[in-house]
A and B are shown apart, each in its own frame.
Chain A
Amino acid sequence: TQLLEQSPQFLSIQEGENLTVYCNSSSVFSSLQWYRQEPGEGPVLLVTVVTGGEVKKLKRLTFQFGDARKDSSLHITAAQPGDTGLYLCAGEPTRGGATNKLIFGTGTLLAVQP
């Protein structure tokens, strides 16, 4: 069974600080996605990383896929209150077959205080 664990589970920081969220597994994934979920809404896709070692940037957010495609990180520079939300990583299983299912991580709840 492929599992994804995120750390930390909760993070409360001040506006302007930097932070990193980790998504780890003992299994290899074909690709990995990051979603952000705001209160009262569904998760929204932020990025998909496919190649081991790949780095993608989305404004102040930097996403990295581990070389072995077993882990990923999300780094936020100069966090703003608008970054507040639940961050979820999700992996495309290597043995998923034709289901399009995802393995979701446990989530990191981020609160950025003004």
Chain B
Amino acid sequence: DAGITQSPRYKITETGRQVTLMCHQTWSHSYMFWYRQDLGHGLRLIYYSAAADITDKGEVPDGYVVSRSKTENFPLTLESATRSQTSVYFCASSDWGSRNEQFFGPGTRLTVL
């Protein structure tokens, strides 16, 4: 199916473990974004990418790593998960010259025990 997908939809892990959240889009959009959404904080940008092999930090990048070897994929890795990283994570994509309109995936709910 066309669009933007995230996997897994739900994940429970333990403190200190490495976790990778996947994001895949079929539109060939240039830009991709990772956000976390927490009560009281709204959507906060973790990392973004303007194209394959081009990534940059957002508002809250500490503890996260991203890569973008292919235009359609933008995985987010928590190198050593902490309880404060319990959140709902959204991936989004946007096309060049689109007034920055973003299309979001369904989200991954991550719980770190």
Contact = CB atoms under 8 A, between A and B. Distances in A.
Interface of B: 30-31, 33, 42-43, 45, 48, 50, 56, 58, 90, 92, 94, 96, 98-107
18 contacts: A31-B99, A31-B100, A35-B104, A42-B92, A43-B90, A43-B104, A44-B104, A88-B42, A90-B102, A99-B48, A100-B31, A100-B94, A100-B96, A101-B45, A101-B48, A102-B102, A105-B42, A106-B42
Which label, helix, strand, loop or mixed, suits the secondary structure of the B interface?
A: strand
Interface residues of A, number: 25
A84 interface: no
Contacts, number: 61
A90 to B, nearest CB: 8
A104 B90 CA distance: 14
A107 to B, nearest CB: 5
Which label, helix, strand, loop or mixed, suits the secondary structure of the A interface?
A: loop
- In the A-B complex, the 8 residue pairs with the closest CB atoms: A42-B104, A100-B31, A92-B100, A100-B94, A104-B43, A31-B99, A100-B100, A43-B104
Nearest to A98: B50
B54 to A, nearest CB: 10
Interface in A8-62: 30-31, 33, 35, 40-45, 48, 50
Contacts of B30: 100
Given A33-B100, A45-B102, A100-B48, 11 more contacts: A42-B104, A43-B43, A43-B102, A50-B99, A99-B50, A100-B96, A100-B98, A101-B45, A101-B48, A102-B102, A106-B42
B106 A100 contact: no
B105 A48 contact: no
B105 A42 contact: yes
A106 B100 CA distance: 18
